[in-house]
Amino acid sequence: MTTADSGAEAGVEEFAPAKVNLALHVTGRQADGYHLLDSLVVFAGVGDRIEARRAPALTLAVGGTMAEGLPAGDDNLVCRAARLMGVGAAIRLTKVLPLASGIGGGSADAAAALRALARLWGRPLPDAAAVAGLGADVPVCIAGKPARMQGIGERLAPLPALPPFWLVLANPGVAVPTPAVFAALEHRANPPLPPLPGAWPDAAALAGYLGRTRNDLEAPACRLAPEIAAALEALGAQPGAMLARMSGSGATCFGLFADEAGAKGAAERLARARPGWWLAAAAVLAG
């Protein structure tokens, strides 16, 4: 595997949006150690980008503002996903999302690579079991639509109609390995999500529902990295913030806002106050 681009043939591009867990309930653990989840997942209009061109062999180049520390070798999840397609391609990953940050960057990249290569070569996507073998978040990222994710990530169902709303994503720049967060979880058999409504008429109704839900990984992540609690506090204190919560296993947190002006204003204020944080304001994609 090399990091050199090759070939001049026109290729394809795929967007790899940030995956945000609006709620994440841990409902049990299987005998094999995998945790059972009940989660509401949406995708935000900020993310990485995959470009792919036909080539005799598989190569990967990595660039972008968050590329530092991300290897372009065989173990990169994009390469692992691409090998499932069994084709040659020169792939370039432009990394915008922070690494290992609870917003599915690697899973979204792998899913985008699969979609790109399927388009490029006119081939079907790998079967569901092979996709799930790449990681629990890859199946929902393949679909790229708001979903309820259950089981170990393999059971997906469409969400009721969502209203327009915006998220401010904030990552305080700390690493919280997912296995450590799950290991610090005190209770693994928690109640599932409350019954879903037929629709949420507006952002306030959605925030009201989410106020009855949780991210069960938030408390253990905050114990491991108190900076996450600081991010939650800062987001929740912003004018117009309807909810502040951690996504996935952290460390990225989000604030929920009804409109673009509120979200962008909050992101600008936080950027001035916390210049070392990664911040983004983005609309939630309708799917």
Q: Distances from the Cα of 224 to the Cαs of 12, 34, 175, 279, in angstroms?
A: 41, 21, 10, 21
Residue 251 and residue 130: Cα distance in Å, rounded? 28
Q: Are the CB atoms for 164 and 203 separated by under 8 Å?
A: yes
Contacts 24+ apart (CB under 8 A), 79-84: 79/1, 80/110, 80/134, 81/109, 81/110, 81/111, 81/113, 81/114, 81/134, 81/138, 82/58, 82/113, 82/114, 82/117, 83/58, 84/114, 84/126, 84/130, 84/131, 84/134
Residue 19 is a catalytic residue: yes
Residue 137 is a catalytic residue: yes
Q: For residue 269, with 0-12 CB atoms within 10 Å meaning exposed, 13-18 middle and 19 or more buried, which class applies?
A: middle
| Buried b / exposed e along 169-193 (16+ C-beta atoms within 10 A) | bbbbebebeeeebbeebeeeeeebb
Choose, from 19, 38, 95, 216, the residue flagged as catalytic. 19
Choose, from 38, 48, 109, 137, the residue flagged as catalytic. 137
Q: What is the set of active-site residues?
A: 19, 137
